[in-house]
Amino acid sequence: MAIHPIEYRYGTPEMKKIWTEEVRLRKFLEVEAALARAEADVGLIPKEAANTIAANLSKVKVSRVKEIEDEIGHDMMAVVLALAEQCGDAGEWIHFGATSNDISDTALALQLRDGIDILERRLRGLKDILVDLALEHKHTVCVSRTHGQIGVPTTYGLRFAIWASEVGRHLQRLNQLKPRILVGQMSGAAGTGAAFSPFYMEIKDKTMQYLGLGAVDVSNQLIQRDRYAEFVMFLANVATTLDKIGIALRTLQRSEIAEVEESFGSRQVGSSTMPHKRNPIKSEQVCGLARIIRSKVEPALLNNTLWDERDLTNSSCERILFPEVMILTDHTINTMIKVLQHLQLHPENIRKNLDLLKGVNMSEAVMIELAKRVGRQRAHDLLRTCAMNARKTGKHMADALLEDKEIIKHLSPSEIEHLMNPENYIGAAVEQVELVAKKLRDEP
């Protein structure tokens, strides 16, 4: 019976597969085989034993491991014994000198590597969609809002470019994180490697080379969790970017703004009682799940505060932490990609909101030009008085300007008309979009 929504509602099949019991077991076995191979290379165990161990990995089943664990109460030893059953005399050499976390932490790195490959691909897809939208809408002029109030004009292209640039930084962070996260260990009971003597360093390095992982410089009975805490904080940062985009899209879909809209299927239902509703449910889902992803930061940090060379408080926590945070982050990125792929912009409402304040939001454009002739502080005072008067009387700002005797001494009607056009006051918005797009597309 399914209980957790990840089982039936959230997550992509490819990311979920990485965190299944079957795949986890396969990674454990892969590490055991790599260890045996490394030990055979240095003469610590017979080469024939290492070959036999590698040849029998596929025979070990989750069901058998569980049966043994129920009997002995130790999950890693159950894996070792299940493999040993398939290897005859060579089974005596399995797990030689290793401790449980040598296998489980190194196997975790293999799972994280597969998951990171998916996340990186998703983030690149999200970045590319945002770049495409930025270029498509680099001339789509709209109102900006500061403190929730309409400000000077901006463009949708600039908004999309800002989000794309943020995703680009996440990709940079991920590349910087990989060498610290994708590492394994083969340290023995307390980190000294005594059980592998005199070949400890060689066995550790060779095992990781076979697995394609980095090797820790030093560890105790487990890999220090600052590495994973940093990664979970990275995922929380990604989720917060998605949350920010989702909040923006939800705000812009408000009925009284209605500049953008999530796609709505021909048979889709928005409300069980209000037939007219078209709700931004996908963006809301992203924002909601971002809260769960961020909540994983504290347990990830606390997993680094273990007793002495180790305790087990991180183990139960991480069995939940890693699958949840990886699956939900992947899901939210994938969901936001779909939202943006099918996002609808409503030009008529974008224009309506540009004109909503009857030109008052163009005050800065007029002030800047007027300041060149009467000084900045005087120009600001004149425009503030004029704007407040226009808002009070309901006049269009252009009419209020033309009625101000001091202003028309310095600005002609044609100049005022030009300055009141939002399309003429977007500064370097287009150039910035083009620069960001080129930079992000040129990055490997």
SS3 label, residue 96: coil
225 and 330 fall within a common domain: yes
369 and 233 fall within a common domain: no
pLDDT computed for residue 1 by the predictor: 85
Q: What's 387's domain CATH number?
A: 1.10.40.30
**Catalytic positions:** 147, 271
How far, in Å, CA of 157 to CA of 130, rounded? 9
SS3 label, residue 199: coil
316 and 409 fall within a common domain: no
How far, in Å, CA of 356 to CA of 142, rounded? 11
188: containing domain: 98-262+278-350
Q: Is residue 224 in some structural domain?
A: yes
383, 363 Cβ separation under 8 angstroms: yes
Q: Is residue 186 in some structural domain?
A: yes
Q: Is residue 59 in some structural domain?
A: no
- What is the rounded average pLDDT of the residues 33-37? 98
Residue spans of beta strands (DSSP E) within 214-289? 214-215, 260-261
SS3 label, residue 125: helix
pLDDT computed for residue 11 by the predictor: 96
Among 379, 397, 377, smallest CA distance to 387 is for 397
pTM score of the predicted model: 0.94
117 and 169 fall within a common domain: yes
Radius of gyration of the chain (CA): 30
149 forms bridges with which residues in the sheet?
Answer: 146
214 and 166 fall within a common domain: yes
27, 111 Cβ separation under 8 angstroms: yes
SS3 label, residue 153: strand
346 and 375 fall within a common domain: no
How far, in Å, CA of 334 to CA of 10, rounded? 11
107 and 159 fall within a common domain: yes
Domain boundary among 298, 315, 350: 350
Among 198, 13, 32, 30, smallest CA distance to 110 is for 30
pLDDT band at 272 (very low <50, low <70, confident <90, very high): low
Q: Is residue 283 in some structural domain?
A: yes
- What is the rounded average pLDDT of the residues 3-24? 95
Among 131, 154, 134, 157, smallest CA distance to 144 is for 154
How far, in Å, CA of 352 to CA of 423, rounded? 14
pLDDT band at 276 (very low <50, low <70, confident <90, very high): confident
pLDDT computed for residue 268 by the predictor: 73
How far, in Å, CA of 40 to CA of 70, rounded? 32
pLDDT computed for residue 265 by the predictor: 65
241 and 133 fall within a common domain: yes
Domain boundary among 299, 321, 350: 350
Q: Is residue 68 in some structural domain?
A: no
Among 411, 314, 308, smallest CA distance to 366 is for 411
pLDDT computed for residue 341 by the predictor: 96
Q: Is residue 305 in some structural domain?
A: yes
258 and 364 fall within a common domain: no
Domain boundary among 321, 350, 379: 350
**Percent of all residues in the chain with a pLDDT value above 90, rounded to a whole number:** 91
Which residue type sits at 149? Answer: Q
343 and 373 fall within a common domain: no
How far, in Å, CA of 186 to CA of 98, rounded? 7
Domain count, the chain: 2
pLDDT computed for residue 275 by the predictor: 72
369 and 287 fall within a common domain: no
pLDDT computed for residue 266 by the predictor: 63
Angle at 64 between CA 222 and CA 6, to 5 degrees: 65
Q: Is residue 11 in some structural domain?
A: no
Q: pLDDT digits over 330-373, tens only?
A: 999 999 999 999 999 999 999 999 999 999 999 999 999 999 99
Residue 53 has pLDDT above 90, yes or no: yes
Instruction: Give rounded-to-5 percent helix, strand, coil for the chain.
Output: 70, 5, 25
232, 325 Cβ separation under 8 angstroms: yes
Q: pLDDT digits over 124-176, tens only?
A: 999 999 999 999 999 999 999 999 999 999 999 999 999 999 999 999 999 99
Using a 10 angstrom Cβ sphere, with 0-12 exposed, 13-18 middle and 19 or more buried, the burial of residue 377 is exposed
Q: How many CB atoms lie within 10 A of CB 414?
A: 8
Among 340, 168, 361, 317, smallest CA distance to 252 is for 340
Using a 10 angstrom Cβ sphere, with 0-12 exposed, 13-18 middle and 19 or more buried, the burial of residue 315 is middle
326, 20 Cβ separation under 8 angstroms: no
Please state, rounded to an integer, the average pLDDT across all residues of the chain: 95
143 forms bridges with which residues in the sheet?
Answer: 153
307 and 413 fall within a common domain: no
The residue whose two tokens read 């045996």 is 36
Q: Is residue 28 in some structural domain?
A: no
For residue 145, the surrounding DSSP H or E stretch is strand 141-146
